[in-house]
Structure 1
Amino acid sequence: MQQLSEARVKGRLALIVSCTATKRVPATRCAMVRHLDHGPDRVRQWVDRLDSLPESQRLPLRRLYGGPMWQSALDLETRARDLGYAVDLWVASAGLGLAPADSSAPAYGASFSGGPDQVAPDRHGRRSWWLALRKGMFLGRTATDLACVRETADQVLLALSPAYLEPLGDELQRFADDPGVAVMSSHRPTRQSPVSSFGLRQRLGGTQVTLNARAAAQYLELVGGSPVGSSTAHQRWEEWAADNRLPEAAPRPPLTDDEVRTFIRECLKVRPMARTPLLVELRRSGSACEQARFARLYREVQEAQ
């Protein structure tokens, strides 16, 4: 790991973003967590199932994922390159672990957020699942962790929802004082964790689903040549965000009907999907919509097409 200074050139930046429930092709039954047998070897069973699928079913993650959340991640990658970084895009996935965006995988259903394909209902179970994914070979590549990503990059910026940061908690502790590592998420900002997208949706535009990626792009613009995790970078973000945050009544603000319809339309442009996986992705991002209201709006969009 190379030491950084305020004057260092930007160098290689590893961007780590969340995976998305929206896939461009449907997952087969054996590649959905909901169909795993219960027991202590669920992760081993999961890995064996994905490995057993024909290689012809694998797609590069860039092409496998779809929808507005994934597009915002690709936009973040492009913006980082425009700002002078050499970018490596990584995906934090409940089904794949930490995976390069250019690696390949079959369509799958696995999530750290609530829904039928949640890997575990409790915090301990989700962390145990994440740790187990890092052992051995998987889909033709060696499993990796955050420390390995850090070794290959000058800097690391994570743009993840709280649900996807949670399993990485132990790994992130190792880099709490690393000026080359920063995390953008939608938690309420604190003195220990000042880099937050909370309250910035109206200022940055888009929906709650895309907020962390949009905020990460803004963060990179503000930090300039400073290391992303430095006190200088934190201070610049705090000063900008303080002038641009708008109060939010709840950690998971409800969307308007028009915002939900827009989200549904954008996802359905990628491929036809049932409403349940769409609602799961909406909630994963930190947004709220009651199941009955989402079903009504989904039906309205379908009928209008």
Structure 2
Amino acid sequence: MAPSRKMKGKARAEPKTEAALPLGKQLSHTAGIPDVELTTGFWMSDKPLVQQALAQDLANLLLLINPAGGDAARLDAALAFLEGFWTALVREWSGIDRLRIDKYYMLIRRYVNATFRLLQREGWNADAVSKVNSILTAMRGPMSWREKSVPTSLATHLADVYLDELEKVMAGAEEPVPLVSVLEPFAQLAANTRTPTVHTRLMSMVFSPILAALKDEEDEDERPAKRARADAQEFENIVENIEVNGEKADKDEAREAVLRAMFKEAAKEDAVESNRRKIYTVVREEGDE
């Protein structure tokens, strides 16, 4: 993934993306921007503050893109940029050395947060959420289970940060989040991955914590061993503002909806049998509590 000498020279200024690009209407063609910034400015940045600022600037482009054509064109351009980011990252991931990997994990976190802010701006529109999910689970998307060459560490890192970033975005939010739809890529991957460590990570970092957070308070002390990460993170902003089937949902309704979604994916014919059994067990045990 290392950039050429010519590109290195251009990158040494470590450009601040918002200042370097005439944003707004001029960002109507964005496909090449993720490639350029991933392989030059961000790759070459070695100072933590510069890395953080550039990562934030790159992620913020999702919300700053504003081509002519109205709201629909604006969303399409933002999603094209997001797809370009993930395409570049999946392609180049194996070339990132251990000294640079942490800053790329940070970049992923920033993009996840910006993606949620984009969806929030769109009112959590079902079509917008579906398109984001399609980008993540595409054949060569970061959460693909169909293409063996896609690095599994991308999916596991997404599992590590997804709820945390959603919790941040939901702070003070007025519109509820369609949680089941937002977590659909994780339900699909948990049912279909052929890598046991990926299944385990998704369950421990996404489903176990959110199911624990959605328990009624009187039930929280019954099974302390299963509370896992929820001890440290209750996800209050998410839990208090969830939508199920177009209506605001309480904890029980949201919890049941998450369990149904997990069961639905596990019940599909193509689901991996070992994953199916594990998910059925979780649904049965959690449903009985």
User: Structure 2 length normalisation: TM-score?
Assistant: 0.31
User: Structure 1 length normalisation: TM-score?
Assistant: 0.30
| Greater relative contact order structure (CA < 8 Å, 6+ sep) | 1
